[in-house]
Chains A and B, each alone.
Chain A
Amino acid sequence: MSASTTDQYQTVKVPWYRRTQAEASLAFILFVAPMIIGLTIFTFIPIVWGALISFSEARNTVSIGDWVGFDNYSAVLGNPEFRQSLRTILVFAVFIVPITFFLSLVLAMLVNSAGFGSAFFRSVFFIPTAISYVIASIVWKMGIFSGSAYGFANMVWYWLDENAPVVAWIGETDPPYYWLVLVTVRLWLQVGFYMILFIAALQEIDQTLYEAAQVDGARLGWHTFWTITFPLLRNTSIAVLMLNFIAAFQAFDEFINILGGVGSVGNISLARPPLVYLYQIAIQQQDYGRGSAGALILTAIIVAVTLIQGRLFGFGSKS
């Protein structure tokens, strides 16, 4: 399509140096250069280097060449901590993805139907998106779910029953409810984001569909939700599920800040997600060979799940 537009220019008076194919090529190269150079240095080369280093013995060095075949891969796959981290993140995703989906859809429908005050409520649910995981971890760990005898959750416990023992939400060696802490902090931070996606989709639904349904005797509510609203939210629902799943699989910030510490081990062995495992072997123990092998295994898992999900839901065929 743009080829035809350039042809048109040739018929008009334009200086020769503006007319040539060379000008277009030069312009294209200059415009694309920063992006291509940047992606090459910080994405393509790292992936290739990472792939090569994953077949090398590379402790405390980032150089390639001390080939060890698949040793790094079998070491990572055979490592109980790594396999445990995959189980951990799977359990985490099983909780966080459906809850986020449900809650963000409910919020979107509530806000969308609110009328008066709808913009205010939308802002309130959306504003946690601006807060970092580190700050949210501070509030959850030291303000609400403290492991010691303070914090709001323990306060509520105390109000309900003065003699109830203090709950070590995340404090001691084996805190009973640490999952609650990890799931709620992510919920608070991300639900507003997905709510915005659902609100956008809800507003695109043709309102005459509901009127037509009412004429046919349907009552607005449960029935019209399942027959009209939900089917029309299909594409957005798939997008929300995939974005959310990929984000959950890459969880790092809240786990390391709530359970562990950058310099300390803390309680991280309770629930160590894969990225924390990679951080520990690659950055802290400086075993770049195994670290890269683990990174590529994880990338392969995420890409595979994305592709399977896309195939299952026939993504791209927008009906």
Chain B
Amino acid sequence: MSQPTTPGGGQWGELKHPRANNSQALAILGKIVRYVLLIGLAILFLFPFYIIVRNSLMTQPEITAFDAWQWWPESPQWGNYRNVFEDDAISMATGLRVSALLAIVNLVMQTIFASMAGYALARIPFRGRDIIFFLILLTLMIPGAVTFVPTYVVVSELGGINTLWGIVVPGLFNAFATFLFRQFYLDFPTEIEEAGRLDGNSYFGVYWKLLLPNSLGIMAALGILSFISSWNAFLWPVIVGQSESTRTVQVVLSSYLTAQTIDLTRLFAGAAIGAIPLIIVFLVLQRYIVQGVRMSGIKG
């Protein structure tokens, strides 16, 4: 705020630390530096989004113009977005359908399977329970992406190559989510559960009427994370779903990028179309996503 009248001096009786005024000025300076840094970094982080929007609205010559960078297209080419859907050989519409199916089934089933198993492991007495829990924990040690070769072998034996189930089903069984749900249900007050049992409910009844409604927060958090990661998944969909009817959005976009001649307008409009659903999900449900990320942090 104001400069100290006498350098380093507070007045006698004010009980100020000699450095107080000085450090106040320092604090303000620090604040300014922090905000300058934050704003600069924010621009840097938002820049790729700007590039997607800018290029998706330009003509090819405008994108590739070298010595005349345009910050914004002279006349935005909204038709680029329509053109993405007019390519019949590589259908973006199919891609969106497959990705939506993949992401929604993951959101629902991954969460349900994990919470069911987590509940049983936490609360239902069973002799082999510890062994089963140990087996599930064991799979956490194995890095998921690395096992894609053996999993591909098994799925192809089962006839899952170039089928929708082959893309979707192998990813529905999440051991780590099971572990998190088990932790959550272990902390769930036993009184509520016991009251439910005394009302004559079966284990399923207790789960359905009491535990499920009370775990919607963790379900939303983990469900949305699995929605995002399955929408964005590339390795598994690209090896299992190469046929026209089983390509996800990511596989379609990747085939644009690696085509012989790249149509830049279609590439960027396609990228925008692939990103928009997730940006909406992200902005609307950010609270749950943050919660889910925090939970997955304990994996380390």
In the bound assembly, the distance between CA atoms of A263 and B149 in angstroms comes to 18
Q: 8 Å CB contacts to B: which residues of A39-61?
A: 39, 41-47, 49-50, 53
Q: Does B152 contact A (CB under 8 A)?
A: yes
A83 close to B (CB within 8 Å): no
Any chain B CB within 8 A of the CB of A92? no
Check B267 for interface membership: any CB of A closer than 8 A. yes
Within 8 A of B (CB), among A188-240: 188, 192-193, 196-197, 200, 219, 236, 238-240
Q: Which residues of B contact A117 (CB under 8 A)?
A: 35, 38
Q: Is the CB of B154 within 8 A of A49?
A: yes
Most buried by A among B55, B135, B136, B293: B293
Partner of A243, one of B258, B268, B286, B300: B300
Knowing A27-B203, A34-B116, A253-B235, the reply to whether A126 touches B286 (Cβ < 8 A) is yes
Main secondary structure, interface of B, reads helix
Query: Chain A: which residue is nearest B142 at the CB level?
Result: A299
B123 at the interface (CB under 8 A from A): yes
Proximity string of chain A (3-25) to chain B, C-beta cutoff 8 Å, 1 when within and 0 when not: 10110110010110010010111
Q: Specify which chain A residues have a CB less than 8 angstroms from the CB of B221 in the assembled complex.
A: none
Q: Is B12 an interface residue (CB 8 A)?
A: no
A162: chain B residues within 8 A (beta carbon): 67
Q: With A142-B257, A154-B66 in contact, is A43–B234 under 8 Å at CB?
A: no
Q: What B residues does A27 contact at CB under 8 A?
A: 120, 124, 202-204
In the assembled complex, which residues on chain B have CB atoms less than 8 Å from the CB atom of A154?
66
Given known pairs A50-B147, A125-B42, A133-B234, the reply for A32 and B117 (CB within 8 Å) is: yes
A96 within 8 Å of B (CB atoms)? no
Q: A42-B170, A197-B293 are in contact. Are A130 and B178 (CB under 8 A)?
A: no
Interface residues of B in 20-75 (CB under 8 A from A): 23, 34-35, 37-38, 41-42, 45-46, 48, 51-52, 55, 63-67, 69
Interface-located stretch among B1-9, B80-88, B212-220, B275-283: B275-283
Q: A132-B250, A252-B234, A275-B146 are in contact. Are A126 and B290 (CB under 8 A)?
A: yes
Set of chain A residues within 8 Å of B167, measured between Cβ atoms: none
User: Does B288 have its Cβ within 8 Å of any Cβ on chain A?
Assistant: no
A239/B271 in contact, CB under 8 A: no
Residues in B with CB closer than 8 Å to A167 are: none
Q: Do B300 and A200 touch across chains, with their CB atoms under 8 A apart?
A: no
Instruction: Please determine whether B234 and A2 come into contact, CB atoms closer than 8 angstroms.
Output: no
**Interface positions of A from 237 to 278, Cβ below 8 Å from B:** 238-243, 246, 249-250, 252-253, 257, 260-264, 266, 275, 278
| Bound-complex Cα distance A113 to B142 (A) | 38
- Answer whether A144 and B147 are a contact pair too, CB < 8 Å, given A32-B121, A132-B234: no
B126 within 8 A of A: yes
Using A38-B173, A130-B281, A275-B145 as known contacts, say yes or no to A253 and B234 having CB atoms under 8 A apart. Answer: yes
Contact between chains at A134 and B153 (CB < 8 Å) = no
Contact for B202 among A23, A28, A193, CB less than 8 A? A23
Which chain B residue shows the least CB distance to A124? Answer: B42
For B184, list chain A residues within 8 Å (CB): none
Question: Does the CB pair A42–B125 fall under 8 Å?
Answer: no
How many angstroms between the C-alpha atoms of A295 and B144 in the bound complex?
11
Shortest B144–chain A CB gap in Å is 8
What is the distance, in angstroms, from B300's C-beta to the closest C-beta of chain A?
3
CA distance A253 to B154 in the complex (A): 23
Nearest Cβ on chain A to B280's Cβ, whole angstroms: 9
A180 at the interface (CB under 8 A from B): no
Q: How far is the CA of A96 from the CA of B52 in the complex (A)?
A: 25
Q: Which residue of A lies closest to B48 (CB)?
A: A139
CB distance from B211 to the nearest CB of A (A): 11
- Chain B's closest residue to A278 (CB) is B149
User: Is A36 part of the contact surface with B, judged by Cβ < 8 Å?
Assistant: yes
A139 with B271: CB separation less than 8 A: yes
**For B279, what are the chain A residues with a Cβ–Cβ distance below 8 Å?**
127, 130
CB distance B132 to A295 under 8 Å? no
Partner of B66, one of A43, A49, A158, A279: A158
Cβ–Cβ < 8 Å partners of B231 in chain A: 132
List the B side residues contacting A236 at CB < 8 Å: 297
| Partner of A252 from B145, B282, B300 at Cβ < 8 Å | B145
> Chain B residues near A24 (CB, 8 Å)?
124-126, 203
Contact code string B109-126 (vs A, CB < 8 Å = 1, else 0) = 000011011011101111
Pair B143/A152 contact, Cβ less than 8 Å? no
- B198 interface residue per 8 A CB criterion: yes
B55 near A143: Cβ-Cβ < 8 Å: yes
* Interface 1/0 per residue, B182-193 and A, CB below 8 Å: 000000001001
| A124 touching B46, Cβ below 8 Å | yes
What B residues does A46 contact at CB under 8 A?
A: 147, 150-151, 153-154
A6 touches B203 (CB 8 A): no
Contact between A5 and B194 (Cβ–Cβ < 8 Å)?
Answer: yes
Task: Check: B96 CB closer than 8 A to any chain A CB.
Answer: no
A103 (CB) vs chain B CBs: closest residue = B41
Closest to A242 in B: B300
Is A94 interfacial (CB-CB < 8 Å)? no
Residues from chain B with Cβ under 8 Å of A28 in the complex: 120, 124-126, 129
- Shortest Cβ-Cβ A-B pairs, 4 listed: A239-B300, A50-B150, A261-B258, A38-B173
Besides A242-B300, A299-B147, 8 other A-B contacts (C-beta < 8 A): A35-B136, A47-B142, A50-B150, A130-B279, A135-B52, A197-B297, A261-B257, A295-B149
Question: 16 A–B contact pairs at CB < 8 A?
Answer: A23-B202, A34-B173, A35-B178, A43-B175, A50-B147, A123-B286, A127-B283, A129-B228, A138-B256, A142-B267, A188-B48, A197-B297, A283-B239, A302-B146, A303-B142, A306-B141
